[in-house]
Amino acid sequence: MHFIMRIKLIILLTVSLFSFKLYSQNLKVGDKAPDIIQNLVTGEEFRLSELKGKMVLIDFWASWCKPCRKENPNIVEVYKKYKDASFKNGKGFTVLSVSLDFKQEAWEKAIKTDLMEWSYHVGDLKGWRNAAAQEYKVKSIPISYLIDGNGIIVGINLRGESLESALKKNRKKKSFFSSKD
């Protein structure tokens, strides 16, 4: 009897440790960002990897999320300021907005209302079961990942001034001989 109990305990501990490892593998600065493949708000398929060579803010949000909507003006301001900038590891800055919305109409209305003028708005209308959110292990929103031109995470959950500071830090230094940059 004790032998069977020990075997059950060993199996339970093994499964628990495996599950903990599986679900605790959170992304961190220095990791390669997993590719995101979802449909744009227009319905066309889009891949994060298509933005290789640019600094990208991957922003998980939803139209129904008040903190997300409060942060959107900050992201819009930073986007306008840095969209044409040169970075150490990328040319230009853009945003990939990953929506955790359920309703297309609410999603589209929020994009227009919040003046989110970048072209990359993706989602699958599955809310918290959004495939990209699952891959990135999103537990709350808003959450964001700043990636460089090679797809390496250089910042996580940057807001307002901290986002701008990270972009400044990664900006390409102007050379003495260069009139551009």
- CATH at residue 89: 3.40.30.10
Domain presence at residue 10: no
- What is the CA 96 to chain-centroid distance, rounded? 7
Domain presence at residue 3: no
pLDDT the model gives residue 175:
58
Domain presence at residue 22: no
Report residue 142: phi and psi, to 5°. Answer: -75, 150
Other CB atoms closer than 10 Å to residue 177's CB: what's the count?
5
Domain presence at residue 84: yes
17 confidence band (pLDDT: 50, 70, 90): very low
Helices (H), the chain: 2-23, 66-82, 104-113, 131-135, 160-170
Query: Is the separation of the CB atoms in 36 and 138 below 8 Å?
Result: no
18 confidence band (pLDDT: 50, 70, 90): very low
Domain presence at residue 2: no
pLDDT reading at 76 higher than 50: yes
Percent of the chain with pLDDT over 70: 82
9 confidence band (pLDDT: 50, 70, 90): low
Question: What is d(CA 41, CA 146) in angstroms, rounded to the nearest whole number?
Answer: 21
pLDDT reading at 170 higher than 70: yes
pLDDT reading at 116 higher than 60: yes
Domain presence at residue 9: no
Query: Is the separation of the CB atoms in 152 and 145 below 8 Å?
Result: no
173 confidence band (pLDDT: 50, 70, 90): confident
Percent of the chain with pLDDT over 90: 78
Residue with the bigger pLDDT between 16 and 111: it is 111
Q: Which of 165, 138, 166 is nearest to 152 (CA)?
A: 166
Total domain count for the chain? 1
Domain presence at residue 18: no
Question: What is d(CA 32, CA 52) in angstroms, rounded to the nearest whole number?
Answer: 12
Domain presence at residue 33: yes
pLDDT reading at 49 higher than 90: yes
- Give the domain extent around 50: 28-170
